[in-house]
Structure 1
Amino acid sequence: MSDNSVLIVDPVSSGKLYPPLLEQLGINIIRLDTEQSLVSGFRNGPTAGALDFEADLGGSYQQLLQLCVERSVKYVVAGSEPGVELCDRLRADLPDCPANDPTLPMRRWDKQHMFEALAAAGVPTLATRAVANRDEVPAEAFAELSRGRKLVVKPARGAASVDVRLVETPTQLTDAISTITDSSALFGGHSAALIQEMYPAPRVEFAVDTFSAHGAHELLCVSVYDKWVSGSGDFVYERGRWLEHDDPIVGELTDYAGSVLDALGVRVGPAHMEIMSGPLGPRLIDFGARAHGIGHPQHTYALTGSSQVHRECEHIAELFGVRAPATDRRAGYSLSRRGALVLVSIDRQARYLGGAEADLIGLPGVVEVRMAAEQGRTYPATKSMMDSVALGLAFVVADSADELDFRCTEVRKRVADFFAPE
């Protein structure tokens, strides 16, 4: 067992996957909960065995840093989006801890600084403007709407598509901005609103998941999102499908993702990128300096034999001398089967009747079902990916793309029978 330790900041969402893997490798771990993960709804109560940053350390960064030094923390993991900023800061301050470029660290979690950094580095981006409130909306934005163009409004700090909205009229634009700036942000405090041009059709959204070490970037998987826009302009995700490594678009996305990582100063750890592609070529629309959420890495591991989480744990073990460094790293990945995560959504307020999990798990190709909805509880119309996760999801596999489409459609039809509109 190594004498060094790993600190996992906000080990929720896919962050839950790290402790058992690291413990199997004989590596000491420290779990840390922060208020950000609680107020954002990423967790509803204390994480078992975790320190509480506010209750146990008084919210003192210096106390946390001292604790990490005393317990020989030599690597820090961002267990979920709420912990990214604290993780990045600790990496820079801890002796002998791999860290990202310390210049303008906020470019890795604040989208206003993120898109400014990409533009400064010459990385192609969508035109993006930041506003502090509805009164700051530039005349150009209203002019674009008057010409029939659509715009996207999103928080500068956020995750899981919360408060990301498509707008077509001046009223929708100002209302969407007020929703973000007039209330508490996802992680507490307040967030600026971003007004971003809508990628022209035809467009497809992809998720690109990477791992970086020593400044080099590895591709772990690429998936494509299928989604629809609700009547209120919210983006509702139906499913994410894993793409084959030899799909023609994967190479183009990989090259673009590498330029994004370099522009944002990413040198260590996993990154999750959402990239739109079409007639303009790839354009970043969202970024997280952490592993893909909602447990996605465990399904990537089932399909490819690796994942961002598994790769990072292997890297930590090599750094700590628990295992010898690998002499070869696969170029890309290979799918053993076709796979998709189907996200449960409802287009109107409905009551969950219960029993969906037992019914769905018997369908062909359904490997896992996680119904989070509570029997008898009424849920609002789905507006974000977090809303979907609060309802449930299913992991579906097949031997062909057509078979996968059929099985996913059957899951969506069956799950709808377990929600009664109210």
Structure 2
Amino acid sequence: MSGLEIKAVEPGSAAFAAGLAAGDRITAIGGRPVRDIIDYYFYLAVAEPELTVRRGEKEFNVRLAAEAGRPGLSFVSPFGRIRRCANRCLFCFVDQQPPGLRPSLCFKDDDYRLSFWEGNFVTLTNCTRRDIERIVAQRLSPLYVSVHTTNPELRARLMGNPRAAEIKAQLAALAAGGITLHTQVVLCPGLNDGAELERTVRDLASFFPAVRSVAVVPVGLTAHRAGLYPLRPVTPAAAAALIEDVTAWQREFRRRYGSRLVFAADEFYLLAGKAVPATKEYEGFPQLENGVGLVRRFRDAWKRVARRLPETTTPCRAVLVTGTLAAPVLRPVVARLNAVAGLEVTLVPVANRFFGTSVTVAGLLTGRDICAALATLFREGLRPELVVVPAAALKDGRLFLDDTTCAAVAQQVGCRVVAAAGPHELVAALGVKLARRSFRKE
């Protein structure tokens, strides 16, 4: 059914005053059909918009009060049917998941509307000419696009979809329409690296300033790849070589465009044992959610927190859980915390048995693996009163990927379990009160 079904109406809002109610369906605004939440806000941006509403079998029009840009409505399904991914990527992480995960983790979306609305990466393989026209007409910018390669034949092969070959024409149309693009390349050794990667990077750079960033991220491989294409992991040597290439491209692009444009994911630096770039070199962190600059942001935040740590605090024995990749980042943090009298913090890097030990990021840890790692330490005599887990591993602050809850982990390990997303949340969880903020330049 077309239109948007109203889930709730805020009391006292313009929609409330107009008599709208839960269950009503908005089918048009100003005579133009409403397909989703994007149409809704786009057409709503006029003085006193007129809404066509269906209530049961009846249809009527209501006019909202002036300046009702956010009239107080929420909707049952803001985007209607989400577009599924039509690709069969050789490196798809969803295809490598163990059985039994909740359905939402196995759903492959590839919807340009979610790219604009939530920052999801999309491939554009299911975008029609009319979709491109809509993106341009409604200024759905920026978009986040998974490119992987600009070689048409290779992209079609990598993504298992002949339409993938159209990527350069699609990017050109979006760029000509004034759409800002953030792009990514999932690096698969032996397939889209080396000369192919350089070709891709230079092709994307040719679309500057429409293409504002290119992130290179390593392919993620789990232990559940039976029957899948035999991909190779990125080695430390390959990571170091990639960093050298990215550094050289950044120097060139900064001279040519005034922007470094291409960025390597943090995982390459950690894998190669190299220092992550300085804050200014990330140019505002355009792809932070893609793992580009998270370590630098964490270290900058920790530096500010560390300056304000007290000499002593209320006693607390705690365990800090992380993935094996981030352990070198957190070791100096734990050492500094343990210099505060009263704190006894133990760092526990947890091997990922759920997805396989090649998966090393903290955000993919499960409750079962955390419990197993802690049980080993408890048998050795460790008895903490608090376990701090990475917030990135939880949905809505409570649920791990294996559907284990924080409460269940706490019950099994016999102490409090809290999640922390950064240095400030970490020290707060430990009960540490920071000194007053310094006004000197940091």
With the shorter chain as reference, the TM-score category is under 0.3
TM-score for the superposition, normalised by structure 2:
0.24
TM-score for the superposition, normalised by structure 1:
0.25
Q: Which has the larger radius of gyration?
A: 2
- Greater RCO (CA < 8 Å, at least 6 residues apart): 1
